């Protein structure tokens, strides 16, 4: 009975548009399958949030067959409309080896677009490229700067990466106390990256930052 009522509701909404927020509520209540036609309708109206959600559904392949091509088209359309999250996920799609679009250089260049818009996940990702020398030469100093930018926006993964940089002395002077400060919150929240850095460098032993603090970003 509930399914019949919802189906009638979907028909009704083809005549009267819903907002993205209303469709998101439907997704939470009924799931992706019921939200799918509503997201499609919004995407046709160039709603970038709906484009992103549709792309996510196509990438996950749970309620529809996985479709990398459709996901890519949607992410590109939303990215062209300055939706940074879509730009970031487009970059991630270029890093997916099982997808037909694997291209680390394209991924890097795509992340740069979002990072230049101050999108923290993209800044963090470029930092990782620079640390590991993926698609670009290694540059620890620039990586630290990017991790700092993302960390200042509260991005936990970047704080974990900063902890690693201070613990390992890459791009900065080694400082276990400062590494402790950056890893602590993520470790307490169960972030795997922070936990690994915390354990690998035994940061529990270094609660105090004894390094030079003037004009430095020393804690999240």
**SS3 for 45?**
coil
Predicted TM-score (pTM) of the model is 0.89
Residue 126 token pair: 């470029």
pLDDT of residue 213: 80
Phi, psi of 97 (to 5 degrees): -65, -30
What is the pLDDT, as a whole number, of residue 15?
38
* pLDDT 10s digits, 34-59: 999 999 999 999 999 999 999 999 99
> CA-CA distance, 44 to 16, in Å (whole number)?
14
The torsion defined by the Cα of 202, 204, 205 and 207, in degrees rounded to 10, comes to 130
Q: What is the model's pLDDT at position 16?
A: 56
CB-CB contact of 51 with 43 (8 Å): yes
Which residues of the chain fall short of a pLDDT of 50? 1-2, 4-6, 8-9, 11-12, 15
Predicted pLDDT of residue 5: 45
pLDDT, tens digit (0-9, with 9 covering 90-100), for 78-98: 999 999 999 999 999 999 999
Cα 41 to Cα 147: distance, rounded to the nearest angstrom: 38
């Amino acid at each position: 009975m509930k399914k019949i009522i919802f189906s009638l509701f979907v028909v009704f909404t083809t005549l009267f548009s819903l907002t993205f927020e209303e469709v998101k509520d439907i997704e939470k209540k009924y799931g992706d399958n019921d939200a799918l036609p509503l997201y499609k309708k919004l995407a046709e109206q160039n709603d970038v949030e709906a484009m992103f959600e549709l792309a996510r559904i196509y990438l996950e392949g749970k309620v529809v067959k996985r479709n990398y091509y459709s996901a890519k088209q949607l992410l590109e359309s939303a990215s062209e409309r300055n939706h940074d999250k879509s730009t970031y996920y487009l970059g991630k799609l270029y890093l997916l080896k099982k997808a037909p679009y694997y291209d680390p250089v394209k991924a890097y260049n795509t992340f740069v677009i979002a990072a230049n818009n101050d999108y923290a996940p993209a800044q963090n990702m470029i930092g990782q490229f620079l640390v590991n020398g993926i698609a670009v030469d290694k540059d620890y100093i620039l990586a630290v700067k990017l991790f700092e930018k993302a960390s200042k926006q509260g991005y936990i993964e970047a704080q974990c990466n900063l902890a690693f940089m201070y613990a390992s002395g890459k791009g900065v002077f080694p400082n276990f106390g400062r590494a402790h400060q950056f890893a602590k919150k993520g470790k307490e929240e169960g972030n795997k990256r922070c936990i690994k850095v915390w354990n690998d460098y035994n940061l529990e032993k270094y609660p105090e930052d004894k390094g030079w603090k003037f004009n430095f970003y020393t804690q999240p």
